[in-house]
Amino acid sequence: MSDCLFCKIIEGEIPSTMVYRDEQTYAFRDINPGAPTHILIVPTKHIDSVNFMINDDEPLIGHLFTVAKQIAAQEGLAEKGYRLVVNTNAEAGQTVFHIHLHLLGGRQLLKMG
């Protein structure tokens, strides 16, 4: 999608600090981090949000979590802990409508639930 911020980042039209890339996934550091480590893990396929996923996207979404696990280990977060967040739509905090995981860590995070 030509107007999608993350699609432009994936295509290299907008600079980013890449952490990981493969055919299905692009991961980069958030420019406004919510934790000492804040990495966005984005599928290269444009999907607006969880609400727009189709059954065929299931392996791709699973791959995002596998990549998140690898990056967490690479960043030294696996032992102490990290959080994975997916926001869906505006009231949940989604500001870029291209599905993505937030990987957060590097400090004690507020408990949820």
Segment 59-77 mean pLDDT = 98
Q: Are strands 101-105 and 37-43 parallel, antiparallel or unpaired?
A: antiparallel
Segment 86-103 mean pLDDT = 96
- The fraction of the chain above a pLDDT of 70, given in percent, is 97
pLDDT at residue 1 above 70? no
Question: Can you read off the two tokens belonging to residue 49?
Answer: 């949000």
pLDDT at residue 26 above 60? yes
Q: How many CB atoms lie within 10 A of CB 110?
A: 5
Which helix H or strand E contains 83, and what residues bound it? Answer: strand 82-85
* Residue 110 banded pLDDT, cuts 50, 70, 90: confident
Is 42 strand, coil or helix? Answer: strand
> What are phi and psi for residue 53, nearest 5 degrees?
-70, 150
Is 79 strand, coil or helix? Answer: coil
Please answer whether residues 68 and 85 qualify as being in contact, where contact means their C-beta atoms are separated by less than 8 angstroms. Answer: no
Segment 29-43 mean pLDDT = 97
Segment 81-96 mean pLDDT = 95
Domain 5-105 coded CATH 3.30.428.10: yes
User: Average pLDDT over the chain, rounded to whole?
Assistant: 95
CA 85 vs CA 1, 5, 80: distances in Å: 23, 19, 17
Question: Can you read off the two tokens belonging to residue 111?
Answer: 């408990």
Q: Where are the domains of the chain?
A: 5-105
Q: Does the active-site annotation cover 100?
A: yes
Tell me which of 38, 98, 100, 102 is the catalytic residue. 100
pLDDT at residue 113 above 70? no
Segment 64-93 mean pLDDT = 96
pLDDT at residue 85 above 70? yes
